[in-house]
């Protein structure tokens, strides 16, 4: 009498025949001919080879491997817009995995990269310069307000201690403002730290 194993390994598929994982099929207790109860969406086949970036799909006779980029972020070559890949298959020709640097860059297919024209380089530099100047102006405005406030405290101090304390603050903020002006002119490379209150 032939003996059969109580279970056999089977491949589990999804509705589109993509491999999901391995499970088992039980021996049919009502039959004695080695028939197994194969669960729905399962097949008797060798487990497909694992390939990074691919998913196995059963064709009816064998496994084929489909590119799987689901969950990856790509960038439109036309607009630079970030796109999340939701579908299986090859990436569209209209996207790249190279991150979009900024709005000053455009895609050059021949070079297979984002590039900046000389005009765009100038525009970008101008924008950076404008942002830098706006930040310096805001900090200079804060410094001017602090200096004026400390000057008022000195001018109207009720005690020598009050006046001495205000003079320390005034000196610190004037030094800070002077350092900001040096930074603005490019005489120093690092933005100075705000004085401690």
Residue 1, domain member (yes or no): no
Does residue 109 sit in the same domain as residue 167? no
Q: Are residues 44 and 19 in the same domain?
A: yes
**C-beta separation of 116 from 125 below 8 A:** no
Cβ contact 27:36 at 8 Å: yes
- Structural domain including 62 reads 7-67
Question: What is the C-alpha radius of gyration for the chain, rounded to an integer number of angstroms?
Answer: 35
Task: Answer yes or no: do 128 and 74 share one domain.
Answer: no
**pLDDT category of residue 114 using cuts at 50, 70 and 90:** very high
Within-domain flag for 151 = yes
Is residue 34 predicted with pLDDT exceeding 90?
no
81 located within any domain: yes
Q: Are strands 73-76 and 82-84 parallel, antiparallel or unpaired?
A: antiparallel
Q: Is the pLDDT of residue 12 over 90?
A: yes
pLDDT of residue 137: 96
Q: How far apart are CA 52 and CA 8, in angstroms?
A: 27
Residues 122 and 177 in one domain: yes
Binned at pLDDT 50, 70 and 90, residue 95 comes out as very high
> What is the tally of structural domains in the chain?
3
Residue 62: inside a domain: yes
Residues 74 and 55 in one domain: no
Residue pointed to by tokens 């021996």 = 27
Question: Is pTM, for the whole model, over 0.75?
Answer: no
pLDDT exceeds cutoff 70 at 148 = yes
Contacting residues for 169 by C-beta, under 8 A, at least 6 apart: 146, 150, 153, 195, 197
What's the mean pLDDT in 144-162? 92
Q: Let me know whether 109 and 150 are in one domain.
A: no
Cα angle 128-133-136, degrees, rounded to a multiple of 5: 130
In a domain, 190, yes or no: no
Within this chain, do residues 78 and 110 fall inside the same structural domain, yes or no? yes
- The answer on 177 and 124 residing in a single domain is yes
b or e along 117-141 (b: 16 or more beta carbons within 10 Å of the residue's beta carbon)? Answer: eeeeeeebeeeeeeeeeeeeeebee
If you search the block for the tokens 């194969």, which residue do you land on? 38
When the pLDDT of each residue in the chain is averaged and rounded to a whole number, the result is 93
Residues 178 and 148 in one domain: yes
Residue 140 lies inside a defined structural domain of this protein:
yes
132 within a domain of the structure (yes/no): yes
- Whether residue 58 is predicted with pLDDT greater than 60 in this model: the reply is yes
With cut-offs at 50, 70 and 90, classify the pLDDT of residue 128.
very high
Give which of 90, 95, 124 is closest to 107, Cα–Cα: 95
Look at residue 63 and tell me whether its pLDDT is greater than 90: yes
């Amino acid at each position: 009498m032939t003996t059969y194993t109580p279970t056999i390994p089977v491949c589990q598929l999804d509705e589109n025949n993509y491999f999901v994982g391995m499970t088992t099929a039980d021996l049919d207790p009502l039959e004695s001919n080695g028939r197994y109860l194969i669960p729905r969406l399962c097949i008797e086949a060798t487990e497909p080879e694992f390939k990074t970036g691919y998913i196995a799909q059963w064709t009816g006779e064998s496994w084929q491997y489909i590119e799987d980029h689901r969950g990856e972020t790509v960038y439109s070559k036309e607009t630079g817009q970030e796109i999340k890949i939701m579908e299986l298959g090859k990436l569209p020709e209209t996207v790249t995995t190279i991150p979009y640097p900024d709005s000053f860059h455009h895609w050059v297919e021949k070079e297979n990269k984002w590039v900046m024209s000389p005009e765009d380089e100038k525009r970008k530099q101008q924008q950076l310069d404008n942002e830098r100047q706006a930040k310096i102006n805001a900090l200079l405005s804060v410094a001017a307000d602090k200096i004026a406030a400390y000057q008022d405290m000195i001018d109207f101090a009720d005690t020598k201690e009050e006046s001495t304390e205000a003079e320390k603050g005034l000196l610190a903020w004037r030094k800070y403002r002077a350092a900001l002006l040096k930074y603005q002119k490019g005489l120093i490379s690092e933005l100075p730290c705000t004085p401690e209150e």
